[in-house]
Amino acid sequence: MNILVINAGSSSIKYQLIDMNTEMPLSSGIVERIGLEMGLIKHKTFLNGSEEKTVEEFPIPDHGVGLKRVAELLTDEKVGVISDPSEIQAVGHRLVHGGETFTKTVEITDEVKAKVKELFPLAPLHNPANLIGVEVAEKVFPNAKQVGVFDTAFHQSIPEKAYRYAIPEKFYRELRIRKYGFHGTSHKFVSEKAIEYLGNPDAKIITIHIGNGASMAAVKAGACIDTTMGMGPLSGLIMGTRSGDIDPAIIFYLAQQKGFSVEEISDLLNKESGMKGLTELTDMRDIEKCQREGDPVAILALEMYAYRIKQYIGSYTAAMNGVDAIVFTAGVGENKTTVREMVCEDMDYLGITWDEEKDKNRKGDVHEINVDGAKVKVLIIPTNEELEIAKQSLALIK
């Protein structure tokens, strides 16, 4: 059983072909610069323990041309991993926003596509591109079932007291303004791994997905009860270029007193803030290097970054009346020792500790980095959103 996972953006397509018998990727890659003068495909194949890379640069006017070339590479005589596109039984699509309509994985039908279109206003940068990916895949892989996995679905178990905003009810009733949350596929994947590791289906877990985008989730007995991102992906943690939580009065001040347009404020908070705004750097490796060299700007930025995470750990521990484990995942969470150390520092009241030697000597899919005998497990669990999408797709079509 081969499942192709697609994440289509406005000018890109990320993909991974997974052999579900082994749950290992056969191929992965990205199509970039779609619609520009010259496009780019970076394609990898994984066979017999070796990795082979193919890089191609040529005009890619639309997603159809890009995905068609991906299908050709997957079946190529030299670098191909399958003999025919019909060997792909399903295409699992990452769909960012499912609103309140989609609470679980679905087979994509004309009705589903129409509903996704209705949700365009909630995710204008993502849902239209995601839907293009679906429509192109239907043509390139006509024999495969098309499956939609929504970023927001895992968070649909959040209770109303947590997802509603304290604004007039008509804005929820008529415009569906509420917290939806994102990174749900990742939070689901790592929380299930943590539950399995703890051997406790009723475990209270806080998942910390920190990469360029960042969010946290409170997961109780396998169900999400709260998350840091809201109606959009701007709120919550400090991120690579996003501000995270901010006083709304700042927006009014910039607009009314300083003449900023809505577009300028959006660009400021989404693209020019976060760690980039604080340090003028976007790579956490560079920021950590500056911190080690004593740069006060980098020191403050990392302190703010860790402090925001700690605030939410305290909040979610209160919401769940306890915590059994916290989980670090995604690019920063999995790889940045400094961040993990700073987050766990002075958290002993909650039973959260950090062991430097354990952190340095990582092994296995689930790695425990707390002090022996600690009340709360501190875990590093690499996320695998593509595999989670493939697993959900397989479960649906079986």
Is position 385 within any domain? no
User: Average per-residue pLDDT in the chain?
Assistant: 94
pLDDT at 122: 85
Is residue 28 scored above 90 in pLDDT? yes
The answer to the question of residue 168 being in a domain is no
What mean pLDDT is predicted for residues 89-107? Answer: 94
69 is in an annotated binding site: no
Is 160 within the bounds of a domain?
no
pLDDT band at 362 (very low <50, low <70, confident <90, very high): confident
Tell me if 162 is assigned to some domain: no
Residue 102 sits in the same domain as residue 249: no
Query: What does the pLDDT look like over 115-163, one tens digit per residue?
Result: 999 999 888 878 998 999 999 999 999 999 999 999 999 999 999 999 9
Whether residues 227 and 374 share a domain: the answer is yes
- Domain stops at, among 115, 150, 185: 150
The structure's pTM equals 0.91
Residue 366 sits in the same domain as residue 273 = yes
Residue 246 lies in a domain: yes
On whether both 146 and 229 belong to a single domain, the answer is: no
**Residue ranges making up the domain that contains 6:** 2-150
Is 334 one of the annotated binding-site residues? yes
Are 115 and 232 part of one and the same domain?
no
Average pLDDT over residues 29-46: 93
233 in the same domain as 143:
no
For residue 185, which of 114, 116, 97 has the smallest C-alpha distance? 97
Question: Is residue 397 in a domain?
Answer: no
299 is in an annotated binding site: no
3-state SS string for the chain: CEEEEEEECCCCEEEEEEECCCCEEEEEEEEECCCCCCEEEEEEEEECCEEEEEEEEECCCCHHHHHHHHHHHHCCCCCCCCCCHHHEEEEEEEECCCCCCCCCCEECCHHHHHHHHHCHHHCCCCHHHHHHHHHHHHHHCCCCEEEEEECCHHHHHCCHHHHCCCCCHHHHHHHCCCCCCCCHHHHHHHHHHHHHHHCCCCCEEEEEEECCCEEEEEEECCEEEEECCCCCCCCCCCCCCCCCCCCHHHHHHHHHHCCCCHHHHHHHHHHCCHHHHHHCCCCHHHHHHHHHCCCHHHHHHHHHHHHHHHHHHHHHHHHHCCCCEEEEEHHHHHHCHHHHHHHHCCCHHHCCCCCHHHHHCCCCCCEECCCCCCCCEEEECCCCHHHHHHHHHHHHHC
Q: Is 322 annotated as a binding residue?
A: no
Same domain, 223 and 104: no
Confidence of residue 104 (pLDDT cuts 50, 70, 90): very high
398 occurs within a structural domain: no
User: Would you state the pLDDT for residue 48?
Assistant: 78
84 and 8, same structural domain? yes
For residue 2, the model assigns a pLDDT of 94
Q: Look at residue 285 and tell me whether its pLDDT is greater than 80.
A: yes
Total number of domains in the chain? 2
* pLDDT number for residue 107: 96
Which among 90, 117, 150 is the end of a domain? 150
Residues assigned a catalytic role:
151
Q: Residue 10: what pLDDT?
A: 81
Percent of the residues in the chain that have a pLDDT greater than 70, as a whole number: 100
Mapped onto helix, strand or coil, the DSSP state of residue 29 is strand
Asked whether the predicted pLDDT for residue 282 surpasses 90, the reply is: no
In a domain, 387, yes or no: no
Residues 145 and 241 in one domain: no
Residue 317's CATH number: 3.30.420.40
The predicted-structure confidence for 170-213, as pLDDT tens digits, reads as follows 999 999 999 999 999 999 999 999 999 999 999 999 999 999 89
97 known member of a binding site: no
Same domain, 224 and 368: yes
pLDDT at 201: 97
Please check whether residues 128 and 207 belong to one and the same domain.
Answer: no
Considering the domain architecture, whether residues 136 and 218 belong to the same structural domain is answered as no
